[in-house]
């Protein structure tokens, strides 16, 4: 019965924190995106697109973005060739919310939760920027592999990182190992 109780508490904490964070993010999107007459992405999506451009330019690619006039996306160009769209789902916020909900559900100390949550969120954001850059450069160089890269390889990077962060959290910081050791 104690084991079922721990699972139920985990599920309640996970879903409660997930839906609260997702609700806050949805409210943010509703207040910052425009999809009526003129499309305009949320500032976080624009920020991701701009970080992709800056780093791509540092790597020697002539990159720029522009707001897509037909949908909520930023169009990314490399060497004046349209290579990809950066949409709301590409800004890593949804993955960060999932990551945070998990570490909140597998609680550790408040200090560890805040520090690891911040560290993991920043790491996911940075790896996501690098993922978008790599994906876009590969689209530019090898457009024939676009579907394979987008659907298989690159989701594995961001979700693989999130999984490694979760395992690290459970193994070193959550109370679950401290309780199991007793």
Taking the alpha carbons of 128, 129, 134, 136 in that order, is the dihedral positive or negative?
A: positive
What DSSP designation does 174 have?
B
3-state secondary structure of 40: strand
DSSP per residue, 45-114: HHHHHHHHHHHHHHTT--EEEEE-SSSSEEEEEETTEEEEEEEGGGSSHHHHHHHHHHHHHS-B-HHHHH
CA-closest candidate to residue 42, choices 79, 84, 86, 99:
86
pTM as predicted? 0.92
As averages over each run of 10 residues, the pLDDT of the chain (182 residues) reads 82 97 97 88 96 96 95 95 94 97 93 97 97 94 90 92 96 73 44
- The separation between the first and the last C-alpha atoms of the chain, rounded to the nearest angstrom, is 18
Question: What local confidence, expressed as pLDDT, does residue 182 receive?
Answer: 43
Cα–Cα separations (whole angstroms), residue 56 to 19, 41, 150, 154: 35, 21, 18, 17
Spatial CB neighbours of 23, under 8 Å, sequence gap ≥ 6: none
User: Contact, 56 vs 89, CB < 8 A?
Assistant: no
Query: What are the pLDDT digits (tens) for 126-169?
Result: 999 999 999 999 999 999 998 888 899 889 999 999 999 999 99
């Amino acid at each position: 019965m104690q084991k079922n109780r721990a699972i139920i508490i985990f599920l309640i904490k996970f879903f409660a924190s997930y839906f609260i964070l997702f609700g806050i993010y949805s409210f943010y999107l509703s207040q910052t995106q425009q999809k009526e007459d003129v499309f305009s992405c949320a500032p976080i999506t624009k920020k991701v697109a701009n970080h992709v451009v800056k780093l791509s330019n540092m790597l020697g690619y002539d990159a720029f973005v522009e707001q897509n006039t037909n949908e909520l996306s930023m169009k990314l160009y490399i060497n004046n060739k349209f290579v990809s769209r950066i949409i709301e789902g590409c800004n890593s916020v949804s993955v960060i919310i999932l990551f945070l909900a998990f570490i909140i559900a597998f609680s550790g100390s408040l200090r560890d939760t805040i520090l690891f949550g911040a560290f993991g969120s920043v790491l996911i954001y940075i790896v996501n920027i690098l993922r978008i850059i790599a994906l876009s450069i590969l689209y530019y160089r090898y457009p024939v592999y676009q579907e394979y890269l987008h659907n298989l390889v690159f989701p594995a990077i961001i979700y693989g990182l999130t999984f490694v962060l979760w395992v690290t959290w459970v193994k070193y910081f959550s109370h679950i190992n401290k309780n199991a050791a007793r």
